[in-house]
Chains A and B, each alone.
Chain A
Amino acid sequence: AQSVSQHNHHVILSEAASLELGCNYSYGGTVNLFWYVQYPGQHLQLLLKYFSGDPLVKGIKGFEAEFIKSKFSFNLRKPSVQWSDTAEYFCAVNTNAGKSTFGDGTTLTVKP
């Protein structure tokens, strides 16, 4: 069975700082990879996804993620965070039968 590990439970940054959230997965076959964002009191929204091709994927709101197959990683990055990026971020892996496995989430707090 696949699993997803997000290294940081809570990250605190100042505005304009750079962000990198770690995500590692375990699964030996082909995967689809996702990052979701959940703003306080809201549902999960898709930030970006990787299916195939260029391992550097760009998403909404200036986020990007890089798939490194050899490291089973799909880290999320943003060069300069804003206060409005305060949210919880979830990495997810989808293998087959349309089922996704989610990490436990990373809470990002951006201080103004």
Chain B
Amino acid sequence: DAGITQSPRHKVTETGTPVTLRCHQTENHRYMYWYRQDPGHGLRLIHYSYGVKDTDKGEVSDGYSVSRSKTEDFLLTLESATSSQTSVYFCAINTRRGTGGDTIYFGEGSWLTVV
């Protein structure tokens, strides 16, 4: 358990509405990530952050934005939700310290349904 909390855990929303998912960590890790998981696609990286206000796009970033104003929080926003964004969203952290090995740990997931 890497001290990762995601909220909300489950949400149903309507097409066209904005949605924000929150990821909170308690161990001051620098790297944080948002993935989505869909059948047949495995895990795909949406956005990641390597520090406060430092973020970058992953492979499926269209329609998503992120913010990291504090080390412990990484927010994922769907600006205008679409049905194709119905998915399970996982936040993750990297336990890298200095030049040590990278290990990624996942939160428990947020199930989002867009109707």
Residues of chain A at interface, number, CB under 8 A: 21
Report chain A residues within 8 Å CB of B101: 32, 49, 51
B41 lies within 8 A of A104 (CB): yes
A98 lies within 8 A of B109 (CB): no
| Residue of chain A at shortest CB distance from B40 | A104
**A42 CB–B CB distance under 8 Å:** yes
**A99–B43 CA distance with the chains assembled, in angstroms:** 12
Minimum C-beta distance from B59 to chain A (A): 9
Minimum C-beta distance from A110 to chain B (A): 20
A98-112, CB < 8 A from B:
98-100, 102-105
Interface residues of chain A, those whose CB is within 8 Å of chain B, are 32, 34, 36, 42-46, 49, 51, 90, 92, 94, 97-100, 102-105
Interface residues of chain B, those whose CB is within 8 Å of chain A, are 31, 33, 40-43, 45, 48, 50, 58, 90, 94, 96, 101-109
